Structure 1
Amino acid sequence: MLLRRFRHQTGKKTGTNTTFGQPTHSTVETDFIPSVCAYAYKTHEVSRIECDGDQNLPSLPQAGTINWIKVNGVHDQALITKIANHFHLHPLIQEDIVTLGERPKTESFGDHVFIILRVLSYDEKAELIRAEQVSIILNHDFILTFQESSHNIWDTMVERHLAGTGRLKTFGMNQLIYALLDTIIDEYFVTIGRLTEDIEKIEEHLLGKQDEQTLFAIYKLKREVLFLHKSLWPLREVVGRLLKENLENRNEESYFFMGNIQQDVLQIIEAVDTLREMLGEMLGVYMTRTDLHMGQIGQVLTVVATIFIPLTFITGFYGMNFDNLPLIKWKYGYLLVVALMGSITIGLFLFFQGKRWLAPKIENDDS
């Protein structure tokens, strides 16, 4: 399952156009109509431009404003192509937008900076990390965002901006880019928090009674943390490249914002590394307890076998077909042998008990 998510929809695509650099349709099944909405950012003011499909595209971008056009759904190739042509996007950008499962990256195409990121969310019911591809195109006058699902991760941020309660006092391009990326990073923090809660539950269960389900749960969480870690390292590269470009262009404001994003990414990576170590230690504890369990069972069985060794010798000795065995014709011989065997059993048991070779309880009392 982990490898399938990394290869998410990067295989066959529908359509007959296989020319290099031309957009091809993904095989992702969708049941919603793609939506397009635009926002015009001015100083201390944000206005919403409702786009019924692509009808308002000719009026965008508006002069004197920073325009953010967000598209939800990339399965309508005609719509994506029309938007790409209107904003003069490179054919390779169009191809990457509709090809889901791309590795996070940042590239420059003339006046456009193209960024691909993954938005991660934790499905607590299925105990899986869901990954969604987000494409962002930056220009001097506009920002384009493309999501593959109908749910928009920036809805809360937009509502705050429209209500005038957001953290941004002025809506410059740098602030808007920072707000978009910061929202994605916040989703990472939420995902890690929920994943940590499940790990702590397994850790508490591990200290009590454990079974095969505990081992399965540890391996499942370990796989999810690995997927999260693999998704974070490309994000670090993307932010690092943006930071380097802003430093080279001496854009101090944007460099400051990207620096904050980079610190958040490093903090998330450290948290994921901590989770990996926790799961590794939990797996070690599980294996150690399993080995102790088996060792204690083996110790008990060894003690039982040791007690029966002299008893088996006595019964085997008197089971020989000879008439002159000691005590064989004495009427109290049988009782004497039984008493001897009982004395040996009790003596060995007391001896092992004194040596503390009899194993204590394998499970905790509260389990």
Structure 2
Amino acid sequence: MHEKKVSPPYAHKKKEGLAAGSLIYVGDTQPQQTAIRTHIYHAGSYRVEQGYKRAEKEPVLWVEITGLEDIQTIVKIAKEFQIANLSLEDVFSTDQRLKLDQYDSYLSVTLRILAHQGTEEQQLTLFLGDGWLLSIAEYNHQSFDAVIRQISSATKLQGAGSSALLHALIDRVVDQYLVKADELELKTENLEELVITNPQETTASVIHQQKADILKLRRMTNPLREILTTLIRTENPFLDRNTTFLLRDVYDHALWLAEECDMMRETVSGIMEVYLSSLDMKMNAIMKVLTIISTIFIPLTFLTGLYGMNFSYMPLTGVYWGFFAILVCCILVVCGMAVYFRRKKWW
């Protein structure tokens, strides 16, 4: 777990009045200690170095940075790849919208990694240049372990260029979104069944949380489509033809995600309407029972009130069986009204 700041909503006040491109950390948690690994590989060769090491002779260089505590070191490494301060400013402002920026010597892609295996949701920035890729994440994570296994073994990815690595990393992030969408879909189905069969008082809060989770995923999928559309349809010197073709498959996944989120959002809205309707029906049933009981007691109240008046001469007041006669009369009234309500299907 990461230590929360005292007042996260006011984190942006730290940048108030600063010039564009000012490199200062802005986030809802304390920055994690910076860790750096350098992956150097080409077809038939792979090695990983702890820390940063530039290898000019190697076809592909992947510098993997996790943790934003050591701003000075991160900036120093980024400057070796000629990354502008405006791009680095977005790295240290961890609430960025998913986006794509293209510069003369590189392009940058901002994504979000979902919470996974004990890590929190975090921002990920990918910088792609000619033969190199720089990835910077807020926290340490294992989301790219599968990609590392591919480039460390004799696979097509090991022999491909840096643009293929960009596709592999984006694909891993989108795979997380797909898994999350499946989880939300299953939870939505279970929630729908719960509302129909056994709605509880806490069901409303569960529905609201489900809707919030769906909207959160939807806020990621919509800009993701824009990113992939631009990468596919715009000529880019950093992407080869094969990578562009592979990104089309990722775009199909992003399109499915957007449609799935819209469908789940409408379903959850319908579930809320069903839940509110069930509450109304339950309240109506309660009011119906109370109304019937009140209606039955109206004639009983009249009889008891009538014989509760202290007059000297009233029918049945002078005989010993008068009380029992009134009691039988009340019972007959109750039974008669019950039979009448039953025949009218009011009860």
User: Are the equivalent residues in 2 in contact too, given 1:26–1:100 (CA < 8 A)?
Assistant: yes
Q: C-alpha distance in 1, partners of 2:47/2:13?
A: 38
**Local SS of the residue matching 1:224:** helix
Measured in 2, the distance between the counterparts of 1:279 and 1:189 equals 19
Take 2:123 and 2:9, find their aligned partners in 1: how far apart are those partners? Answer: 10
1:158 matched to 2:148 = yes
Question: Does the alignment pair 1:243 with 2:232?
Answer: yes
Paired position in structure 1 for 2:220 = 231
Q: Which residue pairs with 2:91 in the alignment? A: 97
Percent identity of equivalent pairs: 26
Residue 126 (structure 2) aligns with: 136
Contact 1:37 1:70 in 2 (8 A): yes
SS in 1 for 2:121: strand
Establish whether residue 65 from structure 1 lines up as the match of residue 59 from structure 2: yes
CA distance in 2, matches of 1:144, 1:250: 15
Asked if 1:185 corresponds to 2:174, the answer is yes
Q: Taking structure 1 as reference, are residues 169 and 21 closer, same or farther at Cα in structure 2, changes over 3 Å only?
A: closer
8 Å contact kept, 1:121–1:191: no
Q: Which of 199, 203, 209 is the equivalent residue of 2:198?
A: 209
1:81 maps to what in 2? Answer: 75
Counterpart for residue 47 of structure 1: 46
**What pairs up with 1:1-367 in 2 under 5 angstroms?**
11-13=12-14, 18-26=18-26, 28-31=29-32, 33-42=33-42, 44-52=43-51, 54=52, 56=53, 59-60=54-55, 62-63=56-57, 65-121=59-115, 130-164=120-154, 166=155, 168=157, 170-246=159-235, 252-358=241-347
Q: C-alpha offsets along residues 250-306 of structure 1, whole Å, 9 cap, x if unaligned?
A: 964343222212111011112212221222222122112111111111111111111
1:249 to partner: Cα distance: 10
Root-mean-square deviation (CA), in Å?
A: 2.9
User: Cα offset for 1:171?
Assistant: 1.1
AA of the residue aligned to 2:253: D
Residues 354 and 46 from structure 1, CA distance in 2 versus in 1: closer, same or farther, beyond 3 angstroms?
A: farther
Contact 1:122 1:191 in 2 (8 A): no
2:262, 2:344 → 1: CA distance? Answer: 45
Residue 179 of structure 1 deviates from its aligned partner by 1.0
The AA in structure 2 aligned to 1:68 is W
Number of residue pairs aligned between Structure 1 and Structure 2: 340
Question: Is the contact made by 1:120 and 1:131 (CA closer than 8 Å) also made in structure 2?
Answer: yes
CA distance in 1, matches of 2:148, 2:212: 34
Change (3 A) 1:281 1:291: same
Q: How far apart in 2 are the matches of 1:260 and 1:79?
A: 36
Q: Secondary structure of the residue that 1:283 maps to in structure 2?
A: helix
Q: 1:250 to 1:233 in 2, by over 3 A?
A: closer
Q: Which runs of 5+ in 1 are unaligned?
A: 359-367
CA positional deviation for 1:354: 2.4
- State TM-score, norm by structure 2: 0.88
Give the CA deviation at 1:167.
5.9
Give 1:73's aligned amino acid.
G
CA-CA distance at 1:329 after TM superposition:
3.1
Q: CA deviation at 1:150?
A: 1.0
Cα shift at 1:246: 3.2
Q: 1:122 Cα deviation (Å)?
A: 6.4
Offset at residue 331 of structure 1 (A): 4.0
What whole-Å deviation, never above 9, does each CA across 1:40-66 have from its counterpart, x for those lacking one? 342x335123033x3x2xx34x23502
Q: CA deviation at 1:217?
A: 1.3
Q: Is the 1:8–1:101 Cα contact (8 Å) retained in structure 2? A: no
